[in-house]
């Protein structure tokens, strides 16, 4: 590691105050001391399927390619201590860590391959030493398909990680593209769990849309949810879910716009013959095979439409921490008073109070714990059993 670059990176991270995140999540009394309420387990019990991490080797990668400052500005700094403090605040027993919207899509092929190996080695070491609190989705050097295939084999074999993370598109090539078939053969061979994080489309379709003079419509405002919808329909209508049945696919934010558009998509078969020619059985059964998390999507408005399309055990808890760390801080109601009652409650240690109005206690425990453990048997074997209610 270049010591000059590493020192520069550390100073930049320190300037954004990693300690501030620890202080923010630790600003109220420990949630574990509060009553567990509504028949919930004691102590830490939730399983977080949508949580991000940034090991030093990845910060170095971002710095090499001029992306570090933007990442810190939008996401904030990450540290293991801060993440554990957040988990303890919200009674999260274990988090399955992943990469977000950039992953390893910039730089040379060699740089991306080397960084993927280093990041996944870090994940392996973290799971080996703290597997009671963490799982991990391996990152790949996509769109390098040959390198991704090799890293999938290594990550799910030698490293024994919990799954793979991909993006919704790579330079405009969506996940149903036939060129990705060799990668899907490897994923299906391993029976892989594939977590898909949204990114923006190749070209932002609304570059001039602004909210006031200084607020542009950046991709994460709308396009992440739209791009997830594009990726899911690409997988369905290109036959990926049909042809590779051993692979499980996980999408974020309660499926983006897909629940709303699913019926419209299905009815297109009535008057657009090409849809029937490629998918005569229609899309709904394939939608029901997908898995989802409820990161930033834990109200009835988001959960109920999705629950009408997929089995109850296909929806899981996701925090999206630290990307939305402001959402979980003690002053969240002061920042967003119009959402009072629908925000994470740090004093109660509840990351998604609106779930109580949608699900019974038994259903809530399934959403926030048991659904995930059914899909991550390695994690289930590593974590301690819970105490009784």
pLDDT value of position 387: 60
Cα–Cα distance for residue pair 258/196, rounded to 1 Å: 14
DSSP structure string for 222-235: HHHHHHHHHHHHHH
- Of 246 and 40, the structure prediction assigns the larger pLDDT to 246
Q: Distance between CA atoms of 76 and 335, rounded to whole angstroms?
A: 17
Query: Which pair of structure tokens corresponds to residue 374?
Result: 């059914």
Write down the pLDDT at residue 389.
44
Going from N- to C-terminal start, the domains of the chain cover: 3-8+39-382
| 3-8+39-382 classified as CATH 3.20.20.140 | yes
pTM as predicted: 0.91
What is the dihedral angle through the alpha carbons of 293, 299, 302, 303, rounded to the nearest 10 degrees? 60
Q: Which residue has the higher pLDDT, 89 or 10?
A: 89
Rounded percentage of the chain residues whose pLDDT exceeds 70: 89
**pLDDT tens column, 117-174:** 999 999 999 999 999 999 999 999 999 999 999 999 999 999 999 999 999 999 999 9
Residue in the block written with tokens 């760390």: 325
pLDDT tens sequence across 210-246: 898 888 888 888 899 999 999 999 999 999 999 999 9
State mean pLDDT over 314-330: 96
What pLDDT, on the 0 to 100 scale, is given for residue 214?
Answer: 85
Q: What is the pairing mode between strands 169-170 and 173-174?
A: antiparallel
Q: What is the mean pLDDT of the chain?
A: 90
Return the percentage of the chain with pLDDT > 90, whole number.
78
Q: What is the per-residue pLDDT across 14-35, written as a single tens digit (0 to 9) for each? A: 455 445 554 555 554 444 434 4
Least confident of 11-15, 284-288, 303-307, 345-349: 11-15
Name the least confident of 111-115, 201-205, 267-271: 201-205
Confidence check: pLDDT of 11 > 50: no
């Amino acid at each position: 590691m270049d010591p000059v670059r590493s020192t520069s990176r550390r100073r930049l991270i320190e300037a954004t105050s990693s300690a501030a995140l620890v202080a923010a999540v630790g600003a109220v009394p420990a949630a574990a001391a509060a009553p567990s309420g509504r028949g919930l387990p004691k102590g830490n019990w939730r399983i977080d399927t949508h949580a991000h991490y940034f090991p030093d080797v990845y910060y170095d990668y971002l710095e090499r390619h001029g992306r570090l400052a933007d990442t810190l500005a939008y996401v904030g700094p990450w540290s293991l201590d801060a993440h554990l403090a957040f988990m303890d605040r919200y009674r999260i027993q274990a988090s399955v860590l992943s990469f977000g919207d950039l992953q390893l899509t910039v730089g040379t092929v060699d740089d991306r391959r080397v960084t993927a190996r280093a990041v996944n080695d870090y994940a392996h070491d973290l799971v080996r030493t703290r597997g009671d609190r963490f799982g991990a989705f391996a990152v790949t050097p996509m769109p390098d398909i040959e390198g991704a295939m090799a890293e999938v084999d290594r990550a799910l074999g030698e490293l024994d990680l919990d799954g793979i993370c991909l993006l919704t598109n790579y330079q405009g090539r969506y996940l149903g593209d036939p060129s990705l078939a060799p990668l899907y053969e490897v994923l299906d061979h391993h029976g892989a769990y594939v977590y898909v994080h949204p990114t923006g489309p190749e070209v932002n379709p609304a570059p001039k849309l602004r909210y006031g003079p200084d607020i542009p419509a950046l991709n994460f405002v709308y396009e992440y949810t739209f791009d997830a919808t594009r990726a899911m329909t690409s997988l369905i209508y290109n036959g990926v879910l049909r042809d590779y049945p051993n692979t499980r696919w996980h999408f974020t934010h309660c499926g983006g716009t897909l629940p709303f558009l699913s019926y419209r998509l299905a009815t297109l078969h009535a008057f657009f013959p090409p849809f029937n020619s490629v998918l005569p059985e229609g899309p709904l059964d394939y939608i029901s095979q997908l898995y989802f998390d409820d990161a930033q999507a834990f109200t009835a408005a988001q959960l109920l439409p999705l629950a009408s399309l997929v089995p109850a055990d296909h929806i899981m808890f996701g925090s999206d921490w630290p990307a939305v760390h402001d959402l979980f801080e003690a002053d969240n109601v002061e920042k967003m008073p119009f959402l009072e009652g629908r925000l994470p409650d740090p004093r109660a240690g509840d990351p998604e109070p609106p779930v109580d109005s949608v699900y019974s206690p038994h259903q809530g425990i399934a959403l926030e714990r048991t659904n995930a453990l059914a899909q991550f048997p390695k994690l289930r074997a590593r974590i301690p059993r819970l105490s009784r209610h």
